Structure 1
Amino acid sequence: MPLSPSRQPALHLLSIEALLQGFASLQFTPVDLLQAVLARIERHEPGLNALCERQDQAALLAAQASSARWAAGQPMGRLDGIPILVKDNHDIQGWHTGNGSKALAGGPPLQHDSALVARLREAGAIFIAKTTLPELATTPLTDSPLTGITRNPWNLALHAGGSSGGSTAAVAAGFAPAATGNDAAGSIRTPASFCGVIGFKPSHGLVSASPSIDPGGLSAEGPIARHVRDIALLMELISRHEPGEPFAWPRPAEDFLGQIEDGVAGLRIAFSADLGHAAQVDPQIAASCLAAARLLQQAGATLVLASPDIGQPAANYLRAWPVEAASAVAQEIPAERQHLIGDFLQQCQAQARQLSALDYAAAIQERHQVAQQLHAFLTDYDLLLTPTAVVEPFAVERLLPPDWPETISAMWQPTTFPFNFSRQPALSMPCGLSAAGLPIGLQIVARFGRDQLVLRAARALEKLLPEGLFAEPCGLLDAPGR
């Protein structure tokens, strides 16, 4: 018999695995779950501003159909009845993709799903909303001309990070157990760190990017959730090879859950607080991340304090990125509507015109050199651990962290973007709280193709850290005065 509402668990906090078990045992239904997350949205979304399109009625019909399948013992897939949020640069058939831009708003409903959305649909996921992002996902703060500022559920006066800030803020707030994202410089990992959830950038090409536009080849698609095993489950579903996609990774389906409980005994792990080049790292963030690394050492791993020699790659990113942002504008936005883009992309277009083709080619070559150094470094180690964000979330009125060195003012994500150059798998997970009660994220990186090892280490650490970091990462959202 289903539980009475007064006896039901807090459904918005449960893992996908626990939700599926509840469906199977008829303890609660997909309709119960949908009503719970929609109640969370109604309570918190006006202040959070993490969602940009909702289809509640369609979601309710899908949840009712899923509930009937579970009652008959015939679920359609491994996510049947699970609500999923979709970043608004991933397409959903019948929905719109605004991509944070007034120039793309108001278009016709889409005819096809993005590839990873199609895989989630096949598994029975219910799409309840699109999530906010900066315009064309080109900045590290989720503040767009189309939707405005997305705020941090731990403190609404602070940024959620970007560009997947809508997805991470919404998952942290309990709007759904998982969301999609993509990451070209830390766009999954930085907001995951700011919002206290888990965000995974897989090895590039493992998850289909079709039909997204990625002029610099830096972006990877990945999942966001509150539990490591949920990340693994989602990866099993969305990492299927898509024939005909030129940069897809042709490999058999991966059993990400099969070895996830194997622990870290015998692994050789490097820890670097600054990745060898960060101008500054908040000391409490560095200390919290090192303490988390020491937990893995206590679990049987060998821990070495070491940093790769990658020089000062931030200047390279800042030099080349305007070209790639301007190229995205040219490919995504019709010429007659480009006057509608925001100031940042207008500036990128102006900067891009000042860079010669040879200058851009030299920047790409420098990226390859950084990638070679990172790949070489990880031949000596199984994993590399760093802080994800080297600063705490900061006020929404600011475009940069307080007191950030002006010489590198536009690149305050020094530990994340190099792994977009190298295309290696990298995950952010909460490992502690700052003195201000804000989440601190630890980044776990492995060699290219060893995505399963990243998740295995993350799962080992998840079991060693206080459960509250994962069960209620957005607890301050419900505090008096929030």
Structure 2
Amino acid sequence: MPLPVLPQPALHLLSIEALLDGFATLRFTPVDLLQALLARMDRLDPLLNAVCERQDQNAMRAAQASTARWAAGTPQGRLDGIALLIKDNTDIAGWYTRNGSRALADAAPATRDASLVEKLRRAGAIFIGKTTLPELGSTPLTDSPLTGITRNPWNLELHAGGSSGGSTAGVAAGFAPAATGNDAAGSIRTPASFCGVVGFKPSHGLISGYPSIDPGGMAAEGPIARHVRDIALLLELMSEHEPREPFAWPHATPGFLPNIEDGVRGLRIAFSLDLGYAAHVDPHIARACQAAATLLEQAGATLVQASPDIGNPAPRYLDAWPVEVARAMASELPIEHQHLAGDFLLECQARARCTDALTYACAVEERNSVAKGLHDFLSDYDLLLTPTTMVAPFAIEHSMPPDWPAEVSMMWQPTTFPFNFSRQPALSIPCGLTPDGLPIGLQIIARFGRDDLVLRAARELEKRTSLSVFDTPAGLPAATQ
């Protein structure tokens, strides 16, 4: 179907703040926005495969109600009428949560909202799609037995990354101004880098995952968007205290927007290409990230080339991961349907059965040792910068970069997962393009609890970088731009 004529500027390119201003001044309505976004989804998702469930009629009813509230001057909350995508391992009442698994293909719809969905709903958000993920979010590429491969908007022959690949590809393609994701080893940051959007894994416990509980402490919920101020707004709303969450911060809701324009002057920032152990970074990525770090130095920060002393944490991570995937299978998949799980999950289950308790306990202890090293390192710096990924997006025919030295480590995203060990806030922001025109992400990390510094640095970089180049991914058909 042809795309409708949109009000100018094109609504799918606007930030949440700009959309809310348009609603308030009646220049356009939540119905206008929803129609534009659904039309893009109709046209582009058959190419991308980023969305696995839609409820267009319910969304339209919500948009019509929001439009009436804005017309009456009585908006409901800080997101009234804003359309969002939700990753399909997060419950929305009345929607399916299939988690990328054939074992959940016939499961009943969820009967209640997850905590973060409750908060976004109270703020007036409209949910327009569930996004694809690998089965149980267990791999860094979005390719599941149930929904297949999610493709990269910058080049449809390449991976979008994972596990929040549907969310990042959807935001990059203009299906919504923002989406939710979760991250246990880089699952927000890796696909954000691959798809040219901003993705934030906040300090763990800031956003509740309730009713899900992550006993290993590796996972965090977080927002994905095109604009840093939108990330901060969503984080404020999503981080409202959840009393039912056993691992939540006992905090009042933080305010991230009031100080987001404070810049980085006077901050002490470390820059590391490889975290001291992962010395296989693509040279184009290295140059782009170094240039982005220099921009923050020009903004008044002190920049130091330095790496933490954490050794190579990948082997122990790989010892523990099969056990934790098998644990997720046991809790998420009905036992009578576990035989329907994909090969990767079944292989993890088999490996877990062969892993003794001491091996797993040593892996967890190694995780804690790495966390201590990263906390110690960041006691000397306000921020740490690294490349988000060491490689550019690669072809969907491959399950890992074809030239990656697997004998060094099977972890081809070595700069992300250590900060799941340490639970520190880490954000990926676009900072350039490869010679092939593919996005490059810079990772910004802070001490635990200093999410505000991450957002300040990201906002400063956003203002000093021409990020408008990321508005129109080059892989999408020209007529849809």
TM-score (norm 2): 0.98
User: d(CA) in 1 for partners of 2:192 and 2:309?
Assistant: 26
Distance 1:481 1:259 in 2: 37
CA–CA distance in structure 2, aligned partners of residues 133 and 211 of structure 1: 19
Name the CA distance, whole Å, in 1 between partners of 2:321 and 2:216.
8
Structure 2 CA distance for partners of 1:201 and 1:6, relative to 1, 3 Å: closer
DSSP 3-state at the match of 2:103 = coil
Q: How far, CA to CA, are the matches of 2:475 and 2:242 in structure 1?
A: 41
Contact 1:271 1:293 in 2 (8 A): yes
Whole-angstrom CA distance in 1 between matches of 2:6 and 2:35: 14
Q: Is the 8 A contact 2:430 2:467 kept in 1?
A: no
Shift of 1:312: 0.5
Structure 2 contact 289–387 (Cα < 8 Å) conserved:
yes
Aligned to 1:393: 393
Q: Does 1:276 align with 2:261?
A: no
Distance in 2, matches of 1:235 and 1:350, equals: 38
**1:212 Cα shift?**
2.2
Secondary structure, counterpart of 1:107 in structure 2: coil
The aligned runs of 1:237-276 (5 Å cut-off) are: 237-276=237-276
Structure 1 counterpart of 2:126, one-letter code: I
**1:155 aligned onto 2:155:** yes
**What is the match of residue 185 of structure 1?**
185
How many angstroms apart in 2 are the aligned matches of 1:427 and 1:299?
19
Give the conservation status (yes or no) of the 8 Å contact 1:215–1:327: no
Match of 2:407, SS state, is helix
Q: Distance in 1 between matches of 2:24 and 2:439?
A: 34
2:93 alignment partner, SS class: coil
Offset of 1:475 from its aligned partner?
4.1
2:145 matched to which residue of 1? 145
Aligned twin of 1:450: 450
Name the CA distance, whole Å, in 2 between partners of 1:131 and 1:411. Answer: 24
**1:359-411, Cα deviation, whole Å (9 max, x unpaired):** 11111000000000000000110000000011000000100102111224531
Corresponding residue of 1:474: 473
Structure 1 window deviating more from structure 2 (263-272 vs 275-284): it is 275-284
Paired position in structure 1 for 2:122: 122
Within 1, Cα distance between the matches of 2:369 and 2:33?
48
How many angstroms apart in 2 are the aligned matches of 1:248 and 1:381? Answer: 26
2:68 aligned partner, one-letter code? A
Sort the Cα spacing of 1:462 and 1:473 in 2 relative to 1 into closer, same or farther, 3 A: farther
What is the one-letter code of the residue matched to 1:105? A
Q: Quote the Cα distance in structure 1 between the aligned partners of 2:462 and 2:480.
A: 30
* Aligned match of 1:42: 42
Deviation at 1:469, TM superposition (A): 3.7
CA distance in structure 1 between the partners assigned to 2:323 and 2:43 by the alignment: 41
Letter in 2 for 1:176: A
Q: Which residue of 2 aligns with 1:402?
A: 402
1:373 aligns to what SS in structure 2?
Answer: helix
Matched, 1:429 2:443: no
Q: Secondary structure at 1:303's aligned position in 2? A: strand
The AA in structure 1 aligned to 2:45 is E
Q: For 2:408 and 2:229, locate their aligned partners in 1 and report how far apart those are by CA, in whole Å.
A: 37
SS in 1 for 2:448: coil
Question: Contact between 1:400 and 1:409, CA under 8 Å: does it hold in 2?
Answer: no
Please tell me whether the aligned partners of residues 150 and 166 of structure 2 are also in contact (alpha carbons under 8 angstroms): yes
State the distance in 1 between where 2:149 and 2:48 align: 9
- Measured against aligned partners, the alpha-carbon deviations of 1:193-243 in whole angstroms (never above 9, x if no partner) come to 000000000000000011224342200000000000000000010001111
Give % identity. 72
Output the CA distance in 2 between the equivalents of 1:343 and 1:185.
20
Distance 2:288 2:16 in 1: 28
- Aligned partners of 2:149 and 2:371: how far apart in 1? 33
CA contact (8 A) 1:160 1:191 kept: yes
- Do 1:89 and 1:212's aligned partners in 2 also have CA atoms closer than 8 Å? no
Tell me which amino acid in the other structure corresponds to 1:293: A
> What residue number does 1:171 align with?
171
Assess if the C-alpha contact under 8 Å between 1:100 and 1:136 holds in 2.
Answer: yes
CA distance in structure 1 between the aligned counterparts of 2:212 and 2:277, rounded to whole angstroms: 31
Q: CA deviation at 1:479?
A: 3.6
2:14 is aligned with what amino acid? L
Instruction: Quote the residue 2:357 is aligned against.
Output: 357
2:58 pairs with 1:70 = no
User: In 2, Cα distance between the equivalents of 1:478 and 1:183?
Assistant: 30
Cα distance between partner residues in 1 of 2:475 and 2:198: 18
- Cα 1:68–1:270 shift into 2, 3 Å: same
> Any conservation in 1 of the 2:315–2:409 contact (CA below 8 Å)?
no
CA 6–308 in structure 1, closer or farther in 2 if over 3 Å, else same: closer
| Partner residue in 2 for 1:321 | 321
C-alpha deviation, 1:476, in angstroms:
3.6
Q: 2: CA distance between counterparts of 1:439 and 1:225?
A: 15
In structure 1, C-alpha distance between the alignment counterparts of 2:172 and 2:72, rounded to whole Å:
32
In structure 1, C-alpha distance between the alignment counterparts of 2:224 and 2:479, rounded to whole Å:
28
1:1-30: CA deviation from partner (whole Å, max 9, x where unpaired): xxx956521000000000000000000000
Partner of 1:26: 26
Alignment match, 2:291: 291
Instruction: Judge conservation of contact 1:281–1:391 (CA < 8 Å) in 2.
Output: yes
Residues 296-375 of structure 1 aligned to structure 2 (within 5 Å):
296-375=296-375
Counterpart CA distance in 2 for 1:14 and 1:451 is 24
SS in 1 for 2:78: coil
Number of residue pairs matched by the alignment = 478
Q: Distance in 1 between matches of 2:145 and 2:7?
A: 44
Q: Indicate the SS of the match to 1:103.
A: helix
Output the CA distance in 1 between the equivalents of 2:48 and 2:402.
Answer: 22
Q: Which residue of 1 aligns with 2:136?
A: 136
3-state SS, counterpart of residue 406 of structure 1: coil
Distance 1:126 1:481 in 2: 23
Letter in 2 for 1:360: Y
Distance 1:133 1:212 in 2: 17
Contact 1:215 1:328 in 2 (8 A): no
Structure 1 window deviating more from structure 2 (443-452 vs 272-281): it is: 272-281
Where in structure 1 do 4 or more consecutive aligned residues deviate above 6 Å? none
Deviations 1:401-437 (A, max 9, x none): 0211122453101000000000000000000000000
Distance in 1 between residues matched to 2:383 and 2:153, nearest whole Å: 31
Describe the SS at the equivalent of 1:432.
Answer: strand
Q: Secondary structure at the match of 2:274?
A: coil
The whole-number CA distance in structure 2 between the counterparts of 1:409 and 1:50 is 29
Helix, strand or coil for the counterpart of 1:180?
A: strand
* Counterpart-to-counterpart distance in 2, 1:477 and 1:159: 14
Report if the CA contact (8 A) 2:428-2:442 is conserved.
yes
Unaligned 5+ segments in structure 1 are none
- TM-score, with normalisation over the residues of structure 1? 0.97
- Whether 1:411 and 2:406 are equivalent positions in the alignment is no
Q: Letter of the 1:45 partner, please give it.
A: D
